[in-house]
Structure 1
Amino acid sequence: MSRELARRIAFTIGALLLFRLGTQIPVAGVAVHGGFAANKIAPLSIFSLSLFPYLTAAILVQLVAVVWRRLRALERSGEAGRRKLARITLILTLLLATFQAFGIASTMRQMPGLVVHPGDWFVLSATVSLVGGVFVLIWLSEQITRRGIGNGLALVLTVSIVASLPSDVATLLTQLRRGAISGNVLASNAVFLIVVVALIVFVERARRNVPVQFAARRVGERSLPSRLAVLPLKINSAGYLLPVTVAPWAISLPVIFAGFIFGADDGSWVETISAHLQFGEKAHIVFGSIAVFALAFVYTAFVIDPDHAAESLARQGGVIPGVTPGEATASYLDHVVSLTTVIGASYLTALSLIPEVFLAYGNALVYKMGGGAALIVVCTILDLQTQVREVSLTNPGGVRR
């Protein structure tokens, strides 16, 4: 192990330990020795909101960029444009975190015995503590990305998921000893999760390589010979967070608006539709699958723009063998991306359905570690593996060995 790699690993471990320490620091003013808070101190810590306001803000900005060309152009305008987008995301994060933290603090002070002095000062201090915790986590994740190893945001989310596994496993073993669940059910769930993890590893590593021929050209004083390369296209280019996070909004928002307009009294058609669209219901499974599949296509079209890719190839003197440069190249890439996206969207839809289908049919074990959580953990580990290899093969001066 090189000294640089050891330094980065040590920094990452230290930062993640700070994160775990922060999850044990309670919000100011909470009666931690009371019965309620003493048993549930983690949900009342300064890191209770985690990175979710930031992730929500980033998803909203990406959604706007999909339909607003000016914001999309800003993202592709270089470092200055990306800094503007980062500022917009942070401002939106501040608004979302403040709104959520104020709601939590207002609810907390109404619970008897939870807050020492349940006044306006507690609401203000708790709101500031929770919002500050979000921005501390954002800063800490950025430091991990810059000075450590791996993606800071993904590592914080992964540690949050993995940290709950020991207690979940202990609960399952206790239920097994008490006879609440059978050994066969537990074993079948374990095998199923192993298969899901293997599928995630296979798909996330899979690429559709498009051959590209670069003509000989001159760059400054250097003469570059003609060469054959590939344009790798990920099977899952949409990731997981945006399609799966936005899909519930696409289902619930129309029902909410209908309730405001027509009313949602007991026995009304709005109330009936809302009941059928609850998590775990068959209608929610069907419409949720359609929403995830469609959003995977929409976001992939934003991430991979065939026209932009064709223009980039033309500027660099690259052509796809047998395909005319320009519009024909863009059409060919659009066709290839569409075919791979069908596979990727089906894969994302299947992962998103795992916890809901098992919960709908009375098996809540896999619900504890659904496809989304498994995907985040596996992708983080794969990214770590890649970065460790890159750092190991790079000299301190940034030159590859």
Structure 2
Amino acid sequence: MSRELARRIAFTIGALLLFRIGTQIPVAGVNTSDLPPTSDLIGRLSLFALGLIPYLTAAILVRLLLVVWRRLIALERSGERGRRKVARATLGLTLVLAAFQAFGIATALTTVPGFVRNPDGWFVLTATATMVGGVFVLVWLSEQITRYGIGNGLALILSVGMLVSLPRDVADIMELVRSGAVPGSLVLGHAVFWVVTVAVMVLVEGARRNIRVEFAPLSVGTRQLPVRDAMLPIKLNSAGFLIPVTVAPWLFFLPLALAGFLLGGDHSLVAAAYRHLQLGQPAHLILISIAVFVLAFVYTAYVADPEYTAKSLAQRDGTIPGVAPGEATADYLDRVVSLTTVVGAVYLTLLQLIPEVFELYGIGLPYSMIVNGGAALVVVCTALDIKTQVRDVSLTNPGGVRR
């Protein structure tokens, strides 16, 4: 192991330990003396009680604006200055969302008898400031891991937050099997299912549709570089998981919330709609599948923008063999991306449906609503990213030259 790799691994472990320590320090003024040290409630009322959820929500909303607002897309693609403006806008929106959520939690805590030592306005103010500050500390910590450690800091913190409860979930399931509440065959079936699912994730996330690109001869001083070949990789799953799956429920729950506001929550149509759109209901399963499938195409069109890619190739004197530059290249890339995205969209939809199918057929286990397809995908992609970075750092000399 090289010294640089050891340093990066040590930095990452130290940063993640700081994250775990912060989840065990409760907000000042909350009475947790009667709670056991391993209680989940301590983590929910800690310095990092909000986790990265406000930041992720803000990032998703900004990404949605990038998809539909051309001027914002141009700003992001204008260079480092434009990207910094988008990043600042994301942090500003994070502040608003985190403050709103933290204030709601702090206010609710004051209504629980005996849970807050001094349930006054000062507690609400300090608790809100503490939880909001915790969000920005986590955002900063994730950036430091990405810059000086190994892997993507944001994904690592999310993965550790998911994996830390896994041993307890396994112990609880084993206890249910021992007591006869859950059949051992069901647990074995889940184990086999997840082994196969993780193997499929590794296969799909590493799959690429490579398009050969030729670059024209280039003059560098007195040297003449010949025609160069390169590969333009297109991922099967270019849309990721968070945006399609997070936004999909908004497409029918926001109109439903508006209908409830206009007609009243007790209206028969609104009540029936809410009842049929609960997790595990056939209507919810069908609608969420359609929404995730469509959103995978919409977001992929932004991530792998064929027109932008064709324009970039033309600016660098790059062509796809047998395809004319310009509009013909954009059309060709659009066809390839669309066909590739069909596989990715089906893959995302099936991952999203895992907990729903378990719930619909009554074959879920206590972890099923937490360790779902999305959580598993985040962990798998984080592990693959770490593997790639470890290999790159190991094969790179201190001067930045590949061995």
TM over 0.5: yes
**Distance change (3 Å), C-alpha of 1:8 and 1:98:** same
1:352-371 equivalence runs, <5 A:
352-365=352-365, 366-371=368-373
Q: Distance in 2 between matches of 1:216 and 1:166?
A: 58
Please state how far the C-alpha of 1:318 moved relative to its aligned partner.
1.4
Report the equivalent of 2:191: 190
Asked if the contact 1:34/1:114 (under 8 Å) is kept, the reply is no
**Distance change (3 Å), C-alpha of 1:37 and 1:43:** farther
**Distance change (3 Å), C-alpha of 1:383 and 1:35:** closer
Q: Distance in 2 between matches of 1:52 and 1:222?
A: 53
Asked if the contact 1:31/1:37 (under 8 Å) is kept, the reply is no
> How many residues are paired up?
400
Q: Which amino acid aligns with 2:95?
A: L
Q: Distance in 1 between matches of 2:36 and 2:2?
A: 48
Q: Secondary structure at the match of 2:233?
A: strand
Report the equivalent of 1:72: 73
Report the equivalent of 2:374: 372
Moved over 6 A (4+): none
Report the equivalent of 1:46: 47
**Distance change (3 Å), C-alpha of 1:389 and 1:16:** same
Could you list the per-position Cα deviations for residues 185-218 of structure 1 after superposition, in whole angstroms to 9, with x for gaps in the alignment? 1000000011110010000000001111222122
Q: Does residue 178 of structure 2 align to residue 177 of structure 1? A: yes
Please state how far the C-alpha of 1:364 moved relative to its aligned partner.
2.2
Q: Distance in 2 between matches of 1:389 and 1:221?
A: 36
Asked if the contact 1:158/1:377 (under 8 Å) is kept, the reply is yes
Q: Which amino acid aligns with 1:355?
A: P
Q: Secondary structure at the match of 1:41?
A: helix
Q: Which amino acid aligns with 1:396?
A: P
Could you list the per-position Cα deviations for residues 153-197 of structure 1 after superposition, in whole angstroms to 9, with x for gaps in the alignment? 000000001101011001001001000111111000000011110
User: Which 5+ residue runs of structure 2 have no aligned equivalent?
Assistant: none
Asked if the contact 1:276/1:284 (under 8 Å) is kept, the reply is yes
Q: Distance in 1 between matches of 2:71 and 2:37?
A: 48
Q: Distance in 1 between matches of 2:62 and 2:46?
A: 28
Report the equivalent of 2:22: 22
Q: Which amino acid aligns with 2:327?
A: E
Please state how far the C-alpha of 1:275 moved relative to its aligned partner.
1.1
Could you list the per-position Cα deviations for residues 279-332 of structure 1 after superposition, in whole angstroms to 9, with x for gaps in the alignment? 221111110011111111110001111111111111212111111111111000
Q: Does residue 10 of structure 2 align to residue 6 of structure 1? A: no
Q: Which amino acid aligns with 1:69?
A: R
Could you list the per-position Cα deviations for residues 197-254 of structure 1 after superposition, in whole angstroms to 9, with x for gaps in the alignment? 0010000000001111222122455532112221110000000110011111112101
Q: Distance in 1 between matches of 2:184 and 2:24?
A: 34
Q: Distance in 1 between matches of 2:220 and 2:156?
A: 39
Q: Distance in 1 between matches of 2:280 and 2:7?
A: 46
Report the equivalent of 1:151: 152
Q: Which amino acid aligns with 2:359?
A: L
Asked if the contact 1:37/1:114 (under 8 Å) is kept, the reply is no
Report the equivalent of 1:140: 141
Report the equivalent of 2:297: 297
- Out of 69-78 and 214-223, give the one that drifted further: 214-223
1:82-161 equivalence runs, <5 A:
82-161=83-162
**Distance change (3 Å), C-alpha of 1:224 and 1:136:** same
Could you list the per-position Cα deviations for residues 98-136 of structure 1 after superposition, in whole angstroms to 9, with x for gaps in the alignment? 000000111111111211111111111110110010000
Cα RMSD for the two superposed structures:
1.3
Q: Which amino acid aligns with 2:207?
A: A
User: Which 5+ residue runs of structure 1 have no aligned equivalent?
Assistant: none
Report the equivalent of 1:231: 232
Please state how far the C-alpha of 1:271 moved relative to its aligned partner.
1.2
Report the equivalent of 1:309: 309
Equivalent position to 1:381, from 364, 380, 383: 383
Q: Distance in 1 between matches of 2:221 and 2:251?
A: 51
